[in-house]
Amino acid sequence: MKQLTIIGASGHGKVVADIALKSGYDSMVFLDDDERIQTCGCYQVIGKSSLAERTGNDVFVAIGNATIRQKIHEKLEKIGITVPVLIHPNAVIAEDTVIGEGTIVMAGAVVNPGSTIGKGCIINTCSSVDHDCQIGDYVHISIGAHLAGTVILGKNTWVGAGATISNNIEITSCCMIGAGAVVINDIIEKGTYVGVPARKIDIE
């Protein structure tokens, strides 16, 4: 039996479990540091994330916050735990795509030729990454967001639902691109960008 331990008993975790079942895992258990959470969908939460090594399973980090996801992922790497790549069978992935461990590609997503996707990324439902893009580690491309060709995204950047990034754009690390934003110029300063065209805003 091929079993997966999922860290993060949330809605995102439910989607991860569904894709894992469709990717060859037979069953799932969940870990979560919030002791009030006992189940995730039809699955049992058996303890805190510190138990990951003791389960003896492959482990996937189903946490939306990139900083936390990175911290846990790097700890798992250090102790030699297998962190798989999960790809929904209805995603379209070019044969030459390179995908780092711990990344999930959800239903309806498209990744076109020549693209590289880093570790611990979320390529969410019906999003698209066109040709020759470079996606840094722990990036989240949200539902329905679209990257045109030859886009570079720095690590820990979040692209909001329905956002569009024009071709040949480079975005630095640790940015938040708001839902529905349209990025037509390079972004060289980390921060939050919203609107059409996208502009930086101050967050108090």
| Backbone phi, psi, residue 77, to 5° | -60, -45
| Backbone phi, psi, residue 52, to 5° | -55, -45
The per-residue pLDDT for 198 is 95
Higher pLDDT among residues 203 and 26, named by residue: 26
pTM confidence score = 0.95
Q: Look at residue 203 and tell me whether its pLDDT is greater than 70.
A: yes
Contacts 24+ apart (CB under 8 A), 161-168: 163/198, 167/130
The per-residue pLDDT for 202 is 84
The per-residue pLDDT for 96 is 97
Summarised one tens digit per residue, pLDDT across range 49-85 is 988 888 888 999 999 999 999 999 999 999 889 999 9
The per-residue pLDDT for 166 is 98
DSSP H or E segment with residue 97 = none
Contact 174, 154 (CB under 8 A): yes
- Count of alpha carbons within 13 angstroms of residue 185, beta-carbon side: 11
The per-residue pLDDT for 110 is 98
pLDDT (mean) for 94-109: 97
The per-residue pLDDT for 159 is 98
pLDDT (mean) for 140-158: 98
Phi-psi label, residue 146: left if phi above 0, alpha if psi -120 to 50, beta otherwise? beta
Q: Look at residue 138 and tell me whether its pLDDT is greater than 90.
A: yes
The per-residue pLDDT for 204 is 62
pLDDT (mean) for 19-46: 92
Q: What residues are annotated to the active site?
A: 131
Q: Look at residue 112 and tell me whether its pLDDT is greater than 70.
A: yes
